[in-house]
Amino acid sequence: MPKLSLTLHRPLISKADGSVLGEVRDVYFDENCRNIAYFIVLCNERECLLPFSAVAAFGDAVMTDDGLALLSPYDADRSALVRSLLGKPVFTGAGNLKGALDDVVFTLKGKVTALQAGDSSYSPSSFRSLGDVLLLKSNARRKTPQVPFPVAETDAPVSVLHEEYDAPAAPSPESTNCADCASSSEPDDGKAAHATAPDAVRTPTGSASFTPPVIRVTDAPPAVYPRDSLAAPLLVAAAQEDFTPRRIIADYNFLLGRVLEKDVLSYRGERLASLGERVTVETVEKARRHGKLIDLTLSSR
């Protein structure tokens, strides 16, 4: 991208006849320093303005298509424009000096992308005002204290399990022969079936233990038709801390004392509350167990 420091003091050349029209001395920025509006060109000991849209190329010289694009300073409204920013000090809102403005980076369309001061680079939106000094916006943020990482008071010893704990040891030929003899001599009373059950787990000591069977709530197949998905919901266990009846009733205590405008039925068609009935704690609890709290809310006034 072009830089202002590499553009100033370069000749302005017309591509129409190859004549040198003058020397680029300075620029005019818009009010917020977001775009370059004009280049200030010294032509025959007087200043002229070259609109940025009339610039054809940037290089060792600034090229323009025709010298007729030059304007008189009195023909342009310069009341809201800013010039001569290079070398001005940059201050923060707290009064800290960040250095002097060294350079301005812009695109080939005249949009300012960065203002460089020392080792820092700022966007045009970072400045609050542009005058005798460049004043940065106050970006003070609330700093939260750093919480140190907790360190254990004492170090707990760690023991590494050997391979014999990872997999059951293979039976020796002697033990296999003895097991065959014992199975042939003892009557089959069902114990052998338990020893070979899939739920049997061998512990590191060699004895077999059994995991408790997994009890599934339901093995219902996925619903194919909409009517199959309207099965009765599972009752919520009262032992769960987040779904205790007291908490449910406390959340729906605004229903107590309301009068039902229609019957409240369960998913199976059982009548939970009747028309004209006043909502009580028992009504809320019954609706909760059957998953009908929303219907109870919509049916009561």
Amino acid at 207: S
Model pLDDT, residue 284: 86
Model pLDDT, residue 201: 46
Long-range contacts of 121-125 (CB under 8 A, 24+ apart): 122/90, 124/32, 124/33, 124/34, 125/32, 125/34
pLDDT tens, residue by residue, 38-70: 999 999 888 999 999 999 999 899 999 988 889
d(Cα 32, Cα 78) in Å, to the nearest integer? 14
Q: Is the pLDDT of residue 198 over 70?
A: no
Range name among 14-23, 37-46, 177-186 with the lowest pLDDT average:
177-186
Nearest to residue 42, comparing CAs of 66, 80, 84, 70? 70
| End-to-end Cα, the chain, rounded Å | 70
pTM of the full structure? 0.44
Place of tokens 């997994």: 214
Cβ atoms < 10 Å from Cβ of 290: 20
Q: Round the average pLDDT of the chain to a whole number and report it.
A: 76
CA 248 to each of CA 135, 252, 266, 283, 285: distance values in angstroms, whole numbers, following the listed order: 58, 6, 18, 12, 8
Model pLDDT, residue 200: 46
Model pLDDT, residue 12: 93
Give the residue-averaged pLDDT of 159-181: 55
pLDDT tens, residue by residue, 263-291: 999 888 888 899 989 989 888 888 888 88
| Structure-derived torsion over alpha carbons of residues 53, 57, 58, 62, reported in degrees to the nearest 10 | -80
Q: Is the pLDDT of residue 80 over 70?
A: yes
Q: Is the pLDDT of residue 212 over 60?
A: no
